[in-house]
Amino acid sequence: MTEPIVKGRNLVKRFGSVTGLNHADFDLYPGEVLAVIGDNGAGKSTLIKCFAGAHTPDEGQMWVEGKEVAFKSTHEAREHGVETVFQTLAVAPALDISANLYLGRELRKPGILGKVFRTLDKKRMRKESGEHLQDLGIMTVQNITQSVETLSGGQRQAVSVARAAAFGSQVIILDEPTAALGVRESAKVLNLIQDLRKRGISVILISHNMPQVFEVADRIHVQRLGQRAAVITPKTHSMNDAVAIMTGALQVPESEQTLGPVNVPA
């Protein structure tokens, strides 16, 4: 049986007297798109922020690719191949696309120029940014020096996704990627997600939008009251079921859940 690429057991996270996560479990299998849904305050964001390195859980264990991990920063999560596209996108609007793609991991020129004078290799960063964006079918190279603030919401999302996908990451976490977008741009982002899966990247998608979740997800992790209430698939359960699980009206016995991997089409 396939081992989960990202696994969490008994995760607890408290914020003062508020409990964000109450012994939550989590499994993401290689190559799948796993949606995480749940009501406000169910602990979706807290859960994924633990794997993103933005939160450190108070209790419980996490594994990435079978190795136990304890992330203290987003940087550490990234080193383990877990990239996150935050809801706020974490872009610097005034900087250009290539500077944003390489923000925090800039490339320096080879030799003395880079080592002693710490000169950036802008040419290479621009060229490679263009390639990364083209890989995702997003844009042409000549516009790579455009500042991010001149881009539309969907384009910014695309830049953020490209940044997450560009550095050989295994897992990409997308936090509400379509929340601020119109219908047309949302469709593009969903296409991007499917594209990521085609490239063998595992995706965690946090979303409120049920139709979108049921369109792209292989499995759906339903979070309720800080715990994993159930894991279902769009094939085994309906949207109404999902809402019922979210609100606690429906309880799914483990035998009817999809806790193991589903057959992911290559």
Partner 1 sequence: MSAPATPDYDLDEEFTTKRSTVQRIQMTLHRYPWLSSLIVLVAVIIVFGLVNERFLLPNTISLMIQQTVIVGTLAIAQTLIILTAGIDLSIGAIMIFGQMLMANFAVYTTASNVLPIAGQNPIIAIILGIMAATAAGAVNGFLIVRFNLPPFIVTLGTWSVFMGLTLILFKARTIQGPEMPETMKFMGDSFPVGPFNFSFGVVTMFVLYLLFAWILKNTAWGTHVYAVGDDPVAAQLTGINTKRVLFSVYLVAGVVMGIAAWITIGRVGSASPNVDPMLNLQTITAVVIGGTSLFGGRGAVIGSLIGAMIVNAVEMGLSLAGVDQAYRTTAIGLLVILAVGVDQWIRKVKQ
Report, in this order, helix, strand and coil percent for the chain, each rounded to 5: 35, 25, 40
Q: Nearer to partner 1 by C-beta: 134 or 251?
A: 134
| Residue in 9, 22, 39, 95 binding partner 1, rule: CB under 8 A | 95
Tokens 């633990």: give the residue. 50
Q: Is 242 in the site for partner 1 (CB under 8 A)?
A: no
Q: Nearer to partner 1 by C-beta: 10 or 150?
A: 150
Q: Nearer to partner 1 by C-beta: 1 or 183?
A: 183
Q: Is the dihedral of CA 162, 163, 167, 170 positive or negative?
A: negative
Closest distance of CB 124 from partner 1, Å: 13
Tokens 């079921």: give the residue. 241
Please tell me the distance from the alpha carbon of residue 152 to that of residue 245, in angstroms, as a whole number: 35
Q: Nearer to partner 1 by C-beta: 126 or 221?
A: 126
| Residue in 14, 22, 63, 147 binding partner 1, rule: CB under 8 A | 147
C-alpha pair distances (Å), 232 with each of 219, 238, 259: 6, 9, 8
Nearest to 245 by CA among 203, 205, 210: 210
| Stretch of 29-37, 39-47, 84-92, 254-262 lying at the interface with partner 1 (CB under 8 A) | 84-92
| Residue in 19, 63, 127, 187 binding partner 1, rule: CB under 8 A | 187
List binders of partner 1 among 11-70 (CB under 8 A). Answer: 54
Q: Nearer to partner 1 by C-beta: 25 or 195?
A: 195
Q: Half-sphere exposure of residue 53, counting CA atoms within 13 Å on the CB side? A: 19
List binders of partner 1 among 188-227 (CB under 8 A). Answer: 188, 191, 195, 198-199
Please tell me the distance from the alpha carbon of residue 195 to that of residue 199, in angstroms, as a whole number: 6
Pairing of β 171-175 and β 82-85? parallel
Q: Nearer to partner 1 by C-beta: 24 or 164?
A: 164
| Residue in 11, 24, 158, 174 binding partner 1, rule: CB under 8 A | 158
Pairing of β 6-15 and β 18-28? antiparallel
| Stretch of 58-66, 135-143, 215-223, 239-247 lying at the interface with partner 1 (CB under 8 A) | 135-143
Closest distance of CB 73 from partner 1, Å: 7
| Stretch of 118-126, 212-220, 246-254, 258-266 lying at the interface with partner 1 (CB under 8 A) | 118-126
Please tell me the distance from the alpha carbon of residue 142 to that of residue 126, in angstroms, as a whole number: 9
Closest distance of CB 249 from partner 1, Å: 36
DSSP for 191-226, written as a single string: HHHHHHHHTT-EEEEE-S-HHHHHHH-SEEEEEETT
Binding interface with partner 1 (CB under 8 A)? 54, 73-75, 78, 84, 86, 88-95, 99, 103-106, 108, 117-120, 122, 134-140, 142-143, 146-147, 149-152, 154-155, 158, 187-188, 191, 195, 198-199
